[in-house]
Amino acid sequence: MEGTLPERAASVLRSDTRRSLCDDCLATLAEIKQRQTAHTIASSFGLTSDFVREKGPCSRCRATKTVTKAIRS
C-alpha cells in the first residue's frame, strides 16, 4: 500500500462509506504497524467534516469500540 499513513487510513475508510472501523482494524487494513498511530490519525479525522468518530460496532471485528467512518468518499 502506498502513500503516507494518513492517506492510507483515509483510503481504507473511504473505500466503503458504510463501514465503521475501530483503530485496531484500521491499523491492520491500512498496514499501520502501531495501533496508537492509527488512533492518532483516526482522532484527527474525527475533527474534520469528512469523517465521524463515535462509539459503535466495528464492521470488521464486531466489537463495540470507538469507530471511525467516512461520510464522503
23 with 51: CB under 8 angstroms? no
Per-residue pLDDT of the chain (73 residues; tens, 9 = 90+): 789 999 999 999 999 999 999 999 999 999 999 999 999 999 999 999 999 999 999 999 999 999 999 997 7
Q: Please compute, for residue 24, the number of CA atoms within 13 A of its CA located in the half-sphere on the CB side.
A: 10
- In angstroms, how far is the first alpha carbon of the chain from the final one? 18
pLDDT at 70: 97
